Amino acid sequence: MAKLSVEIITGERVVYEESDVDMVVAPGADGALGILPSHAPLFTLMSLGEMRVVKGGEEQSLAVFGGFLEVSNDHIRILADAAERAEEIDVDRAEEARERAESRKTEGGQATEEMMRAEAAMRRSMVRLQISRRRRGRQQQQQSGGGSPQGGS
**Which residues span the domain enclosing 119?**
89-143
Reduced to 3 states, what is the DSSP secondary structure of residue 12? Answer: coil
CA distances from 41 to 37, 64, 151 (A): 11, 21, 29
Residue 150's pLDDT band, with cuts at 50, 70 and 90, is very low
DSSP-derived letter for residue 148 is -
Structural domain contains residue 149? no
Residues 12 and 82 in one domain: yes
pLDDT at 76 over 90: yes
Q: Beta strand pairing status for 4-9 and 75-80? A: parallel
Backbone angles phi, psi at 62, to 5 degrees: -135, 150
Between 27 and 142, name the one with better pLDDT.
Answer: 27
This prediction's pTM: 0.73
pLDDT at 149 over 60: no
Structural domain contains residue 151? no
pLDDT at 61 over 80: yes
Amino acid 85 reads: R
pLDDT at 62 over 60: yes
- Say how far apart CA 69 and CA 42 lie, in whole Å: 8
DSSP-derived letter for residue 26 is E
In a 10 Å sphere around its CB, with 0-12 CB exposed, 13-18 middle and 19+ buried, how is residue 104 labelled?
middle
Residues 59, 53 contacting (CB under 8 angstroms): yes
pLDDT digits (tens, 9 = 90+) for 22-57: 999 999 999 999 999 999 999 999 999 999 999 999
Task: Give strand ranges (E) for 22-96.
Answer: 23-28, 31-35, 42-55, 58-72, 75-80, 83-85
Residue 115's pLDDT band, with cuts at 50, 70 and 90, is confident
pLDDT at 79 over 90: yes
Amino acid 24 reads: V
Q: Which residue, of 86, 104, 122, is where some domain finishes?
A: 86
Structural domain contains residue 101? yes
Q: How many domains does the chain have?
A: 2
